[in-house]
Structure 1
């Protein structure tokens, strides 16, 4: 079995040889007026075989973040079983006490009255939904219910009862490029189906307003957002955060007919070619195809000093764990990078899910690409 290191794969590539440190990490506090609750969903898709292990039924884990009463205990950043797994296979290359880190959200707290627009989140290929926690908490504090989705066998995921399923999807036989391309396609198809399955199973959560649904994602998760919008009209608006369509066949020439925003990173000439140029609809051919084919409102934002993983929690965590030894974060200030994402992601969904038409603000680290 050969371990395929995909260009957008696991966060382990980010940390390099970062030294072990004691956990003193705190996530940035959400800036909205609401406290946040979080609950986990374990969903089993009976009748659908797992795309990697056909003898298994597909299972998906998700978290729902929502405006809530501040009751109970704060949720851990990673589940206890996953923190235990990280003792031997640490994320972002860092050995630290991951189990001691807490979010700002209360486990299974009562939701505030009302129904909240829904925003789905898909992480990058090989990444955990945990890496979208900062933006999930921010949106929930501002009146959204955010559903973060894991894609089983791409990364280590904790299931009920303490079981951890690992990244077996990356362990595939052979060196044949055609087989590798098939595996990439299977992965992206699985992601699209996972998100639609999760969306099918949200009706029992009465605080969700399923008439107003958006989706965003980082890297392969951003492409997943575009794919889901193309085939599922329940999703009203989407955001692609530095994802490229060339990982498998992902239909850029079809575009979308509803609001869509790109958030791209700056160039990184010391990194592989996929990361080595600014990602905008003017410089990335597949983004340009998508842009030209789309008929809904479009927005393209670029963070010149950011890099591919600027659009994840790694932008906040790595500098506090010994620094970025990979170049995947660039030189943008972490607090300002997080602030920029909070500002524009919230404003985009406020406009297209809540009907708030306020002008988009300017931010010193962000360029509008016309």
Structure 2
């Protein structure tokens, strides 16, 4: 479902039993008119986090969604293990100008919701294990934002990966550029998903090209934002993975077919479309899906893609999960539901019945296990078969 349509349903207040353990406080704050505050729980990796946002411009490509713009502009964030940085500001979960526009489009007045900060320090020096470090690219769902995968991203960076998150302009709900400019997606979300898939694939390949410039000692961005100390030598472009949610998951598969630089991919409840369905892939791929939103059970294209995977493969299902269980929405939506009049069934349709802390535990454990195995040669057993620590996860090969 389009996120804006979801958030403006206008149904009765959700029941506290659906909202989970945060519901009483959220309902009380809503009743008193106090701001509702969101902040991700702290990651548990051994390294502190650093991050930097960069403005990129592909001058060889007019914007495919707005042809009057002579080049394709993107915003990315680079996340990494840091050293020091305690005196640097924490990066906001979503840039303030983007957050204001996003919440306003949901019908929430200014100051009603405060989205808080991440655990990443802006511009902190790169630290962590001896580099260069494996790289993971993150593509969000349609009508979403790179911010919505922050929980997954923080975990990976805190365990020694460099993670690059991408906002696909005019496909994303909101994108804030330097200078205060904010670009939004169409009112009802992107309708041409085949085009969106092709655009996202081209975006990711361009981002990889710019990261190669960074690795060669250059600056990848437009505005020459100061780069964190140690960043130029931190990326190992021989070990590149990609992770995406929903349309970002489909884009992961499509981009891997087009670009051999990506050696392992993971899709969080994303389908499959385009040439990769029949061509398949010869590199590791992990499919996570749910019974809804076109999962393996009722999506012939995804089943065909699965059957054509020739490398390492794994199919995971998560009992009680729904489409928005695989990003920060699983924690945000229960907080916003009282303000937006979401009914209990509507909330359950989007985030499932899985408790938020269990959904987040999955987000933290399984992507890291996958990229540990395929980008670092790790020996963890989590992907081998059912785990006592995750009884809700089903495995199929």
TM-score w.r.t. the length of structure 1 is 0.86
Give the match's secondary structure for 1:294: coil
Contact 2:37/2:113 (CA < 8 Å) preserved in 1?
no
Cα displacement (A) at 1:283? 4.7
Cα displacement (A) at 1:212: 0.5
1:218-249 Cα deviation digits (max 9, x unpaired): 00000000011101111010011111235xx3
2:91 corresponding residue in structure 1: 75
Pairing partner for 2:281 from 256, 260, 263: 256
- Distance in 2 of aligned mates of 1:206 and 1:90: 41
* Secondary structure of 1:48's aligned partner: coil
From the superposition, tell whether residues 308 and 100 of structure 1 become closer, same or farther in structure 2 (CA, over 3 Å): closer
Within the alignment, does 1:130 sit opposite 2:144 as a pair? no
Q: What residue in structure 1 maps to residue 167 of structure 2?
A: 150
Post-superposition CA distance 1:324-364 (Å, at most 9, x none): 64221110010011101211111000000000122126112
Partner of 1:215: 242
Going from structure 1 to structure 2, the CA distance change for 1:254 and 1:207 (only over 3 Å counts) comes to same
> What is the alpha-carbon distance in structure 2 between the residues aligned to residue 332 and residue 95 of structure 1?
31
Segments of 5+ residues of structure 2 without an aligned counterpart are 14-29, 215-231
TM-score, scaled to structure 2: 0.80
1:101-120 to structure 2, matched below 5 A, reads 101-112=116-127, 114-120=131-137
Question: Does the 8 Å CA contact 2:39/2:115 hold for their aligned counterparts?
Answer: no
Q: Does 1:23 align with 2:36?
A: yes
Change (3 A) 1:253 1:211: same
Q: Provide the C-alpha distance between the structure 1 equivalents of 2:48 and 2:150, rounded to a whole number of angstroms.
A: 14
Gaps (5+ residues) in structure 1? 1-6, 173-179, 268-273
Distance in 2 between residues matched to 1:337 and 1:151, nearest whole Å: 25
Q: Identify the residue that residue 19 of structure 2 maps to in structure 1.
A: none
Rounded Cα–Cα distance in structure 2 between residues aligned with 1:328 and 1:83: 21
Q: Distance in 2 between matches of 1:215 and 1:32?
A: 20
For residues 139 and 101 of structure 1, do their structure 2 counterparts lie closer, same or farther at Cα, with a shift above 3 Å needed?
same
Distance 2:4 2:394 in 1: 27
